Structure 1
C-alpha cells in the first residue's frame, strides 16, 4: 500500500536542481550588473585610458621647408618628397616576417646593406614599434620595397632638400641634414624662418589602422617663409665659371669672387673655388665647405693704396695736383727698407696709383697722423664685420687700437701689409669708394629695409681717387688686361706674399679690386686667387683677367649703359646692326 501511495505522489514544480541553477544564474547576472556599474559609474577612467592607448593616435601634417630663390625668382633650394623605409619589429616577429630569408636578402641588396644586419635590427628589441632601415630613398627603391610585401616593413613620407645649381652656390646656400635642419650657409643662418611648424591632429583608429574618428586639432600648421636672396644667379654662374677656370689654370689653392651693388650694398655674387656638390656630399672634405669669401683673410697688398691716398687727401696733407719725390726709389725706416721695383723719381698722385709706388704711398701715409690713417681704414670697414649676417664671417686682423705703431708699420699698412682682410671686406671698401665715400653694410637678403649710408670721406676725395685708379687699366698702367671694352674702369692690383711663422714665405695672394662704370659706378668686384703656381703670380696677370670677364659680363647682363664708346666701337656696332646689301 505504501509503495503504491508513493507512486501516486505528484512531483513538485521546482526541485533543488532547478533552484540551484536559478540562484547561480541570478548571482552571475548580479555580478555582471555590479561590475558594469562599477566600470561605468564608479571607476571608468582606467579602462577608458587603456582603450585610448590602443586606439588614439596623433597624426602630423608635414610642412615642406621654405624655398630659397635668387633676386629674379630662380630656385636655388627646394624640398622634394621622398620616402623612408621603416620596420615595426613587433609586427614583423608576430607575423613571422623573418622566416622568408629571400625577401630580406632582396631588401638588403636594394638598400646596399647586409641582410643579417637588417634582421638584427628587428630582433634586437622585439618590443620596439618603429625603427628606420633607410631614409630618403629614391622612388624606384620605395616601389621595390613595397612590392616585397614583408610584414611590418613600410614607407613613411618625408622631404629632401635639393639644390638645382649644385656647386655654383654651394658655399652661399649651404645644406641641411637628414632631418631637414640647416647646417651651413643660408640654410643654417635662417633655419628658423625656413622651417615651418607641422600640424598635429588627434584621431581614433581601429585595429586595422584606419581612421574612424577625428578628435580635433592639437597644433595648427604654420607655413615656413621663403627667402629671396640679393644674388643674381646669372652673375653668380659667370663668376664661378671664370674663377674655376683661372684657379685650375694657375693650379692655385683656392679663389674667391665677390660682386657688390655700389648703390645698395647688395651682394650680387659670391663664388668660391674649390666647391662641392651639396646634393651628394659622400666624398666632401672639410676644407671644401668653407665660404672663403667671408672666412679666409689675406693681406690686401696694393689694393689698399687707394684708401691710404684718400686718407692723405681727406686730411688735407696733399693736393690732387701735388708731386711726390720718390728718389732714390727706396728709404730706410727703423732699420728696414721700403722700396719700389725701380726709381720713379718725382711723380704725381695719379702715377703713384698707376705704377703702384710703395715709396710714394708710404710718404703720403707718413705725412698724416697715425689716427688719421688708421681711422680711414677703420671707416672703410676693415677690422669689423660687413653686416652680411652669414655664419662664420671673420672680422679680419686689424689691431687699430694698438698703442704703438712704428713708422715702418704705418708705411707698410699704406700698401696693404700689417693688416688682413676678407674678400667681402675689401668689396665693401671699394663699394664705399664707388658710392662717393658713403658706406653701407652688405646685405644678402632681398627686401630688407635700406639702411642709412654713412659718409666716411668727402665725396670729392672719393671721386678724385676713383679717377686716379682709371690709369691702372689704361695703356701704361699695371693692369691693362682688367679693362672692359666700352666702359670706364677704376681698379687696383694686389700682390702680397703670404705670412708664415717668423716672416713671409714664397707663396703669394694675387688680387684685383675695381669699380665700373666710373661715370656712374654700379658694381664693385673683388677677385682673390690664393697661391697661384708657377712664375705668374701677380694680381695683374692672375686676378685682373677674371675681373674683366666678370665685370664685362655683369654690366651687360644688367643692361648698364656703356660710358666709354670709342669711334671704332660705334662703327663696329653699326656694322653689326645694319644689314649690308
Structure 2
C-alpha cells in the first residue's frame, strides 16, 4: 500500500493576521507627550510643596482631632467627714434608665426581630421592683427616648446591664448623697439637681470641695493603639482629699434629739444648741430645729436652708450679765468682794427698771446678783463704769462686727452709736442686763469662751481642713487675742458656778463635776419694738470650772406657756448635752474644792 496523501486545508483570508509595518513616531508628537508628563510631574511637586510648606499645620491639626479622644472632667466633689471620719457628704455614681422600644431585642433573638414591650417589661420588673404594668403604661406607644427611672444604684444598674437587652440604655451621672440626713443639713447645705451648691459649706467651700481633675486627651494610632504623647503634666493625677469638720456626729445627734423634743414640748418657733471647745474655737455640735433633709430638699421650705444661729440677731438678756461683770472687773469699776444694793426697782432717765420677779434683794454680792439674776443689781454695778468706757469695751469685743468664722452667712451684731449710748443713760442701763443691743448665738458662745479660756478671744469654726485618705487632723492648739486678765475671768467663773450650786442653774448639776452657768429669759424685739408675750429662753454653761474646756449654749425662740424660762426650757437640753459630752470626751470628775 502506498503512503496516504495529506490533503492541506486552506485558511480563510478573514482569519489571517494583519501585519502592520512599524513606522517611526513623529518627533513633534513625542515632544508633546514629554511636555505633558513633565507638566504633570511639576504639578505634583508643586502640590506637595504647597501641602508641606503652607498646609502642614492645618492638616496636622485635623489629623490630631481625628486621632485624639478628649475626656472632660466628671466634676467629682470631695467628701465631707466629721472629726472622727464619719461620712457626712459624698458623691455616688447613679444611673438613668432609658427605653427605646423600636430596638427591643433579647439575647439569642434574630437580630432583625423586634420584641413587644411586654417581653422587656417582664424582664425588668423584678430587677427594678416595680410592676410590669407600670412600665408598660410609661412606655405607651412611644417608639424611643423614654426615661423610665432615675437614681438607680450601681448594683441595680449592673443587674439591668447583665440582661443584655437591646433598646435598654443606662446613663451614668454623679449624685451628692448625705448619709446623715438632716443631722448636718444646717451647716453643710446641699447641691441642687444641676449640682449647683445652694447653702452651707457646699456653697461657701465650693472651690475647696472641687476635686483636682484635668481634661484628658488620648491620642491613638491608625490601628487604635494609644500613643503616650501630647499628655499634660498631672493629667492622670487624682486626689483623695476630704474636708474634715470639727463637729462630732455623736454629740450632734444627741443635741439635735434633745433640742427637737424640747422645742416640740414647748411649741417653740425654733431652737439651737452649740458646743464649743474654748481652747481653740472648734465647734463640736451646732444643732438647729427645725431643719431639713438635704437628700430631699425640695420637700422643705427654703426658709429652713439658712442657719439662724449665725444669721439671726436677738437680745441675749441675762446670759450676757457675766460678760458685763467681767468688763467692770477688768476696768476696776467693781471689786471681786464688792456689793450692791437691790431695792427691786430703779429709775434711769425717767424709765423704771424692775427685777424680773420684782423682788427686793437688799445688799448682795455679785455672785448673788447672778444667782437671782438681778437687773437692778446689774444697773448699780455697771453705772460705776463710765458710759464711754463701757461702749469702747463692747466695741472691743467686736459686738458690732462680723465674727471671724468659717461658718457661712455669719453676720455682725447691732450696737447703738457711741453718741447715743453715752448721751442717753437708759442705753448703758438696759445693756447691763443684756438688752438694747443684739447679737447671734454664735457670738454669745464666743464671748463666754472668752471667760472660759482666761480672757482670750478665739475664732469659732467648724472645719479642720483637707486631709488625704483616711488621715484625720488633730485638734487645734490654744490661740486667741488676750483681752481680759485671767484673774478676772476666774472670778466671774466662780460666780457662774454659784449659779449652778445655789441659783437658777441647779438643774444642770452633775455629781462629781464643777459646772458654771447662767440662765436667760429675754423679751423678743422685732424692728426695735418688743413683741408682747414673746420670749427667748436660753442657758449657757462652762465646764469643768477648775480647767474650763467647753461652753454649751442652748437658745429656744418663742416657747409657749406660762412657765417658760431659761431654767425650764433651755436648761434641760443643756443638761442632756453635758451628760453626753462628759462621756464622749472622757472628762474626768472634778477635784472637790470650794468655789473661789
TM-score tier (shorter): 0.7 to 0.9
User: Structure 1 residues 86, 213: CA separation in 2 closer, same or farther (over 3 Å shift)?
Assistant: farther
Matched pairs, number: 535
Which digits, 9 at most, give the CA deviation of each residue in 1:260-285, with x for residues without a partner? 11222211111111111122223021
**Residues of 1 paired with 2:137 and 2:516: CA distance?**
57
2:523 match:
497
Instruction: Describe the SS at the equivalent of 1:279.
Output: helix
2:381 match:
364
User: Structure 1 residues 191, 474: CA separation in 2 closer, same or farther (over 3 Å shift)?
Assistant: same
Residue 436 (str. 1) matches residue 448 (str. 2)? no
Q: Is the 8 A contact 1:302 1:416 kept in 2?
A: yes
User: Structure 1 residues 5, 334: CA separation in 2 closer, same or farther (over 3 Å shift)?
Assistant: closer
Q: Is the 8 A contact 2:421 2:428 kept in 1?
A: no
1:286 match:
302
Q: CA deviation at 1:255?
A: 0.6
User: Structure 1 residues 12, 322: CA separation in 2 closer, same or farther (over 3 Å shift)?
Assistant: same
**Residues of 1 paired with 2:229 and 2:149: CA distance?**
32
Residue 488 (str. 1) matches residue 514 (str. 2)? yes
User: Structure 1 residues 140, 369: CA separation in 2 closer, same or farther (over 3 Å shift)?
Assistant: same
Q: Is the 8 A contact 1:194 1:224 kept in 2?
A: no
2:199 match:
184
Q: Is the 8 A contact 2:97 2:168 kept in 1?
A: no
1:273 match:
289
**Residues of 2 paired with 1:152 and 1:49: CA distance?**
37
1:398 match:
415
Which digits, 9 at most, give the CA deviation of each residue in 1:504-529, with x for residues without a partner? 11211110012011111111111001
Which digits, 9 at most, give the CA deviation of each residue in 1:468-500, with x for residues without a partner? 11222224x123212223211111111111113
Q: Is the 8 A contact 1:303 1:512 kept in 2?
A: yes
**Residues of 2 paired with 1:293 and 1:111: CA distance?**
50
1:331 match:
346
1:217 match:
231
User: Structure 1 residues 48, 564: CA separation in 2 closer, same or farther (over 3 Å shift)?
Assistant: closer
**Residues of 2 paired with 1:293 and 1:531: CA distance?**
15
Match of 2:567 among 521, 537, 540: 540
User: Structure 1 residues 480, 404: CA separation in 2 closer, same or farther (over 3 Å shift)?
Assistant: closer
**Residues of 1 paired with 2:463 and 2:272: CA distance?**
20
Q: Which one is further off, 309-318 or 110-119?
A: 110-119
Q: CA deviation at 1:143?
A: 4.8
Q: CA deviation at 1:142?
A: 3.7
Which digits, 9 at most, give the CA deviation of each residue in 1:157-192, with x for residues without a partner? x43222222211111222234455543222222222
Match of 2:278 among 262, 284, 292: 262
Which digits, 9 at most, give the CA deviation of each residue in 1:322-361, with x for residues without a partner? 221122x112222321011212122221111100000000
Instruction: Describe the SS at the equivalent of 1:169.
Output: helix
**Residues of 1 paired with 2:231 and 2:65: CA distance?**
18
User: Structure 1 residues 110, 430: CA separation in 2 closer, same or farther (over 3 Å shift)?
Assistant: farther
**Residues of 1 paired with 2:561 and 2:49: CA distance?**
93
Which digits, 9 at most, give the CA deviation of each residue in 1:76-123, with x for residues without a partner? 2222233356899xx99xxxx9x99949997996799787999689xx
Uncovered stretches (5+) of structure 2, i.e. residues with no partner: 1-11, 24-28, 105-111, 125-131, 465-472
Residue 322 (str. 1) matches residue 338 (str. 2)? yes
Structure-2-length-normalised TM-score: 0.78
User: Structure 1 residues 5, 458: CA separation in 2 closer, same or farther (over 3 Å shift)?
Assistant: closer
**Residues of 1 paired with 2:482 and 2:360: CA distance?**
37
**Residues of 2 paired with 1:41 and 1:234: CA distance?**
71
Uncovered stretches (5+) of structure 1, i.e. residues with no partner: 122-131, 567-581
**Residues of 2 paired with 1:253 and 1:85: CA distance?**
43
Matches within 5 A, 1:158-557: 158-178=173-193, 180-204=195-219, 213=227, 215-218=229-232, 220=234, 221-223=237-239, 225-327=241-343, 329-340=344-355, 341=357, 342-399=359-416, 401-405=418-422, 406-446=424-464, 450=477, 452-475=479-502, 477-501=503-527, 503-505=529-531, 506-557=533-584
Instruction: Describe the SS at the equivalent of 2:542.
Output: strand
Q: Is the 8 A contact 2:95 2:170 kept in 1?
A: no
1:58 match:
70
**Residues of 1 paired with 2:543 and 2:505: CA distance?**
15
**Residues of 2 paired with 1:112 and 1:387: CA distance?**
57
**Residues of 1 paired with 2:168 and 2:19: CA distance?**
70
Q: Is the 8 A contact 2:135 2:148 kept in 1?
A: no
Q: CA deviation at 1:256?
A: 0.6
**Residues of 2 paired with 1:562 and 1:118: CA distance?**
73
2:590 match:
563
**Residues of 1 paired with 2:181 and 2:562: CA distance?**
33
**Residues of 1 paired with 2:585 and 2:462: CA distance?**
18
Q: CA deviation at 1:231?
A: 1.6
Q: Which one is further off, 478-487 or 359-368?
A: 478-487
